[in-house]
């Protein structure tokens, strides 16, 4: 138990260091983006004095390292700053009409998490079931068909799969709405209906990885002596796989599921833009267009934190599910 706790603490510390390094990369990269917010908001006819005045009000005239440590300090205390696009320049940065980055991001993040949750509830059972069946009936027509279908879906860009589903399920057969214009207070059933089409698009994208890893992990264990013994006892092939092979193949399956769940949070940008889904990916794209630096930095940091956290979770779950890793010699 002490070994497991030590490994978990070590992984968490490593994750914090990784997040700190990523925050430096995010801050530098975002501030190197072409364009200037002050120039953009004032237009081409702005004078140099007015542009410099807005840059001074926003703190953009300070050195890069000073702005980074200010941002890092605010991030640690939960203050992600004020959205440039929502500033009321008549009242200044402290005006009552200004909107914080956190106020903008939290509703969008909630929508993205809902989309990711719906996708995971559809994709994970389908992928694991297809992987188990493909391992059970390997080298058959079903195995080849499942591999071809999943590889075809993952080889196609997300926007292409999205438009194909819109054509089939919203235009030719109007079963689902093509736009996911959800809002606060929407009934759960209606919200689920409007989220279903982007969720199906993401399901087609992430199912292949999980299905193929499940299949490969189980097939790798089918030659093990204890599997052979279970077969010699007359246990049915399905029970051998589900009761004996699958539990021992959980470590790599958990890893690939966690990585795909991380993709559902960090890789939804294209899908959200196609379906006009009001998530954090759509907010990220809109903020990049208008050079809203605080919002772009916060979105990037959330993407990075989610990816690192889910990778750490996968690592820890793999350790807990593998006795050889829990009790290293």
Domains of the chain by residue range: 109-326
Residues 158 and 271 sit within 8 Å (Cβ to Cβ):
yes
Helix (H, G, I), strand (E, B), or coil: what is residue 4? helix
The two structure tokens encoding residue 160: 């292409």
* b/e per residue 218-229 (b: at least 16 CB within 10 A): bbebbeeeebee
- DSSP for 253-265? HHHHHHHHHHHHH
Please tell me what DSSP assigns to residue 189.
H
Q: Which of 43, 29, 25 is nearest to 290 (CA)?
A: 43
List, for residues 61-84, the tens digit of each pLDDT value.
777 788 888 888 888 887 777 777
Whole-angstrom Cα distance, residue 258 to residue 261?
A: 5
pLDDT of residue 276: 87
pLDDT of residue 94: 44
Whole-angstrom Cα distance, residue 154 to residue 208?
A: 6
List, for residues 9-31, the tens digit of each pLDDT value.
888 888 889 888 998 998 888 87
Homologous superfamily, domain 109-326: MetI-like (1.10.3720.10)
pLDDT of residue 222: 77
The two counts, helices (H) then strands (E), for the chain are: 16, 0
pLDDT of residue 52: 74
Show the low-confidence residues of the chain (pLDDT under 70): 1-4, 35-46, 86-98, 321-329
Whole-angstrom Cα distance, residue 256 to residue 274?
A: 26
Residues 55 and 61 sit within 8 Å (Cβ to Cβ):
yes
Whole-angstrom Cα distance, residue 9 to residue 17?
A: 12
pLDDT of residue 324: 61
82 backbone dihedrals φ, ψ, rounded to 5°: -115, 135
- DSSP for 68-134? HHHHHHHHHTT---B-GGG--TTT-TT-TT--BHHHHHHHHHHHHHHHHHHHHHHHHHHHHHHHHHH
pLDDT of residue 90: 46
The two structure tokens encoding residue 209: 């990885």
Whole-angstrom Cα distance, residue 231 to residue 211?
A: 24
pLDDT of residue 38: 67
Q: Which of 74, 100, 13 is nearest to 295 (CA)?
A: 100
Residues 71 and 27 sit within 8 Å (Cβ to Cβ):
yes
Q: Which of 38, 144, 121 is nearest to 87 (CA)?
A: 38
Q: Which of 279, 318, 247 is nearest to 118 (CA)?
A: 279
């Amino acid at each position: 138990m002490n070994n497991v706790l030590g490994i978990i603490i070590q992984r968490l510390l490593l994750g914090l260091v990784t997040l700190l390094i990523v925050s430096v990369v995010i801050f530098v990269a975002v501030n190197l983006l072409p364009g200037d917010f002050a120039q953009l908001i004032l237009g081409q006819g702005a004078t140099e004095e007015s542009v410099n005045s807005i840059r001074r009000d926003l703190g953009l005239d300070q050195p890069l390292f000073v702005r980074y440590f200010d941002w890092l300090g605010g991030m640690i205390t939960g203050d992600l700053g004020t959205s440039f696009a929502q500033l009321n320049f008549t009242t200044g940065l402290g005006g009552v009409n200004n909107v914080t980055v956190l106020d903008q991001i939290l509703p969008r993040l909630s929508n993205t998490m809902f989309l990711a949750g719906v996708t995971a509830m559809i994709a994970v059972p389908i992928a694991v079931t297809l992987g188990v069946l493909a391992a059970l009936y390997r080298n058959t027509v079903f195995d080849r068909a499942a591999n071809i279908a999943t590889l075809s879906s993952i080889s196609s860009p997300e926007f292409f799969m999205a438009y194909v589903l819109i054509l089939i399920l919203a235009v030719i057969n109007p079963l689902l709405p093509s736009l996911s214009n959800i809002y606060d207070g929407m009934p759960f059933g209606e919200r689920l209906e409007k989220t279903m089409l982007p969720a199906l698009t993401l399901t087609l994208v992430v199912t292949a990885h999980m299905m193929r890893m499940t299949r490969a992990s189980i097939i790798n264990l089918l030659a093990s002596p204890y599997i052979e013994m279970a077969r010699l006892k007359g246990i049915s092939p399905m029970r051998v796989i589900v009761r004996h092979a699958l539990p021992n193949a959980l470590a790599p399956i958990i890893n690939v599921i966690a990585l795909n769940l991380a993709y559902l949070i960090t890789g939804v940008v294209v899908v959200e833009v196609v379906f006009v889904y009001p998530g954090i990916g759509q907010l990220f794209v809109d903020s990049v267009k208008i050079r809203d630096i605080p919002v772009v930095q916060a979105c990037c940091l959330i993407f990075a934190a989610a990816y690192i956290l889910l990778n750490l979770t996968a690592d820890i779950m793999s350790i807990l599910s593998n006795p050889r890793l829990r009790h290293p010699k």
